[in-house]
Amino acid sequence: MRVVSWNVNGLRAVLKKGFLDWLGSDSADVVCLQEIKALEEQIPTKDLEAIAALGYTADFHPAERKGYSGVATLSRQKPLFVTKGVAFERGEGRVLITEHGGFTLYNVYFPNGRQTPDGPDPERLAFKLEFYAAMLETVEEERAAGKNVIVTGDWNTAYCEVDLARPKENRAVTGFLAEEREALGAYMEAGWVDSFRRFKQASAYEGL
């Protein structure tokens, strides 16, 4: 089973730039998209039909606000169950949950802390940290119930210095704040595995 995650920054935009060619040539069983910025009815019918013709079932969870956020999951085998949204996402279209028999998949677009000329937006940063904590509690409950769980998506935080080009210059910038990295680190401390670091054989705590 191969799962791919991609923040497309506008699904309609990437559909005009070869997304379907890539989808047809890739071997992914499940494709998780974040920041789709569109309602399902805003996606051209011909593109939805092309996705289906490539063998994918498409599930969408857009934000209530048009042109903002939103996630979509494309699955070669239709999910057994689909859950769109969680209470703590505030209608921003950030969490799409699909059941695939052997595992439960969370496609998540974690909030951005929102940087302003005066620094991180305190209200938005608080929401981001609350979201991290609530999501961890949610998936921990799933794991405690005996489920195999995958959490994928755009985490909007660089965890280690090696994860960005200029770590020293970004320590006061949202996306690399100490409290954001600590919130992400809570997942590792709880026993969750960063698959990228596992595949690259790098320490999950490198650069902290």
Active site members: 154
Please provide the DSSP assignment of 116-144 as one string. Answer: ETTEE-HHHHHHHHHHHHHHHHHHHHHHH
Neighbour-count burial for 167-198, b at 16+ CB within 10 Å, e otherwise:
eeebeebbbbbebbbebbbebeeeebebeebe
Neighbour-count burial for 110-128, b at 16+ CB within 10 Å, e otherwise:
bbbbebeeeebbeebbebb
The structure tokens listed for 169 are 């210059």
How far apart are the C-alpha atoms of 58 and 49, rounded to whole Å? 10
How far apart are the C-alpha atoms of 61 and 24, rounded to whole Å? 23
Please, which residues have CB within 8 angstroms of residue 179's CB and are 6 or more apart in sequence? Answer: 125, 129
